[in-house]
Amino acid sequence: MEDKGFSLVELLIALLLGAMLVTMAISFYVSSVSLSAKNLKYSRLRADLQSIVLFIEMDIRRAGYGGSEFMVASGAGKTIDTANNNCIVYSYKHSSAKNENKMGFRLSPEKDAVQFGTGVDPHAINCYSSGYWQAISDNKFIKITQLDFTESEVSNGLTTMRSVKIDITGELLAASEIKHSLSTKIQVRNLEFN
């Protein structure tokens, strides 16, 4: 008489191999979902930083529009003024009230956020003691750890053309190991006449 079927040892080996395959499949699925969530957060961080830089670029490019009444800094002879590399002040004609036309961007250390200001002092060194400032970055999602403005100029004797290099670094609040940095250089469109 012939036995048809599996022995207990064969069944246990088959169960063990099946359990190992299921464990590997679940592990692969969990790691894929975790990596996808991390990539999604990193993409949002990059998009947020790019949006902030684009907003800053678009506004600073207008500096000086409106003539000599819309200059900043010492003697009101500049279109932009930077201080301590983390604050920039500029001006352009966007309303009839001259005080509102003095604007700036700064890093707020106590809020870890980028802020946009109006009615600021025309000297960037005073940007933390004047004006009305509001956050343009989401400090509930990202922490801005660096915002630097580096001013450069080229002059031919009659005119001066200014450029600003912007460096920004941010990290996720929920996962501080996820960081991203951007750097860009923009040219202020409006010439300064010497």
Across the range 131-148, mean pLDDT stands at 91
Across the range 145-164, mean pLDDT stands at 87
More confident residue, 37 or 105: 105
pLDDT at 96: 65
Across the range 4-30, mean pLDDT stands at 88
Does residue 69 register a pLDDT over 80?
no
Q: Are 82 and 151 in contact (CB under 8 A)?
A: yes
The 10s digit of each residue's pLDDT in 78-128 is 788 887 778 999 888 876 655 568 899 999 888 889 999 988 888 888 888
For residues 97 and 95, give the distance between their C-alpha atoms in angstroms, rounded to a whole number.
Answer: 6
How far is residue 176 CA from its own chain's centroid? Answer: 15
* 190, 133, 131, 117 alpha-carbon torsion, rounded to 10°: 0
Does residue 75 register a pLDDT over 70?
no
Residue 57, CB half-sphere, CA atoms under 13 Å: how many?
Answer: 16
Predicted confidence band of residue 167 (pLDDT cuts 50, 70, 90): very high
For residues 164 and 185, give the distance between their C-alpha atoms in angstroms, rounded to a whole number.
Answer: 6
Does residue 192 register a pLDDT over 80?
no
pLDDT at 135: 93
pLDDT at 174: 84
Q: Which residue has the tokens 């003697």?
A: 75
- Smallest CA-to-CA distance from 144 within 101, 186, 114 is with 114
The percent of residues above 90 in pLDDT, for the chain, comes to 36
pLDDT at 37: 83
> Which pTM value belongs to this model?
0.78
